[in-house]
Structure 1
Amino acid sequence: MQELSWYIDENAQSLAVGSNVASTTITRDSYAATPGVDTLVAGGTNYDWAKLVLLLGGFPITENNVTVFTRWMRQENYVDSWWNRNNPLNNGWGSGGGGGLGSYDNLVIAAENAAEALNTLPKYSGIVEAFRADSPTQVTENAIWYSGWASGMYNNGAHWAYNPVPVVQAPPEAW
């Protein structure tokens, strides 16, 4: 902060208020914060990646949405290697591989491409609507199954796992 003291000294400001101005007390009932890209990358887990896609896609970062995303990631890759090919959702959009078999240079690029694919391709509009509405998990998952994301539709949901997804850290070089 000492490096900026010259700037503060040269740009100091003051404010004069007349004595006839009434003061008002303002109460803030609550506040919230949304993690940013750097915070999520620093966390480095599968849950952080799910939140990153939600953030970049403009979707609410809620328990329902994160639960669906981590389950979805588990359906596409093993939990212990969810970052496989830096393509956690086996997304073909921009990955250089048809059918989701491509890879990305890092997980941030993968998140950007997943968010862009969801928001760009009309066949994913049901998924987008469900995430935007913070729908119950079964509604969003149903939208994923029937969206065309996976050609087998996760066997109409019969191959979808509902047990909790463990938190797993990706190696730093994946980010």
Structure 2
Amino acid sequence: MRVQHPGGRHGAPGRGAPSSRRGRMPVRGIRRLSGAFATAAVFGIVATLALAPLDGGPDEAVAESTGFRGDDVQSVEIAADAQHPTVSSESYTASTGPETLVLGGTNHDWAKLVLVEGEFPVTDENVAVITQWMREENGPDNWWNRNNPLNNGNGSGGGSGLGSYDTLQTGAYYAADSLRRLSFYDAIEAALDASAPAGTTAAAIWASPWATSHYGNGGHWTASHVPVVEAPASAWGR
């Protein structure tokens, strides 16, 4: 850095000063040496910082204050007579509401509605046997006939099972009521409660005393999957 006098000019030697510069280092040389010394000092500071050990940071400070190190091993001993807590293993099943089934409107929905109304398990096996039963009574393409898919005489005004209900939802209620309340459905009721294989429940249907022909002891029963068929909205009272 150059230092200037207030006049902006460089300082000049005064009168009487010796003209010879022997024994004196030129100003320019002094400046060069001072610059070199400054540079060396900076590199020295940088080197010192590079070689200095780094601080362990807050984690190390905590470890030193607590006496805990990462390689320390802790163990917990449990008494042999200690009692372990009991873990609950309750199971929960989702239930399907009647409103959802009515909006669905199919023969499979009606079978599920019977199970819901009777508080039976709504399982694939139970739905399969109810839909098969409906097919044997009214056929798959007109399963909603007289809103009485199982030709149930209970509450329909027809003792032979040829009565009618105002809606399919009413028919589902009375079908469930028959299964739960009337004694000659007991074997069918037990099979549905156990969610037995569809063939087992079907055999209980064939053997029931109300079935005069007993479905040919199964010879007139088709066990294949029943296709999904939707009933007219009016059959549901919609």
CA drift at 1:170: 0.3
1:78 maps onto 2:149 in alignment: no
Q: Counterparts of 1:136 and 1:111 in 2: how far apart (Å)?
A: 22
For 1:15-26, list aligned pairs within 5 A: none
Is 2:128 aligned against 1:97? no
Aligned partner of 1:63 in structure 2 is 124
> TM-score when scaled to structure 2?
0.60
Cα distance per residue 1:58-113 (max 9 Å; x no partner): 10000000000000000000101100000000001111012110010000110000
User: Are the structure 2 counterparts of residues 148 and 30 from structure 1 closer, same or farther at C-alpha, using a change threshold of 3 Å?
Assistant: closer
CA distance in 2, matches of 1:124, 1:32: 26
- The 1-side partners of 2:213 and 2:151 are apart by 13
Equivalent-residue separation in structure 1 for 2:133 and 2:177 (angstroms): 17
C-alpha distance in 2 between matches for 1:90 and 1:117 = 12
Among candidates 212, 224, 227, match of residue 151 of structure 1: 212
SS in 1 for 2:160: helix
- Give unmatched runs, 5+ long, in structure 2: 1-89
Aligned to 1:133: 194
SS across alignment from 1:100? coil
Count of residues paired in the alignment: 148
Question: What CA RMSD, in Å, does the superposition of the two structures yield over aligned residues?
Answer: 1.6
- Letter aligned with residue 159 of structure 1: H
TM-superposed CA distance for 1:164, in Å, is 1.4
Structure 1 length-normalised TM: 0.81
Partner of 2:170: 109
Partner of 1:15: none
Please name the residue that 1:33 is paired with.
Answer: 94
Identify the structure with bigger relative contact order (alpha carbons < 8 Å, sequence gap 6+): 1
C-alpha deviation, 1:31, in angstroms? 5.7
1:42 aligns with 2:103: yes
Q: Which has the larger radius of gyration?
A: 2
Please tell me the residue identity of whatever aligns with 1:97.
G
Unaligned runs of 5+ in 1: 1-28
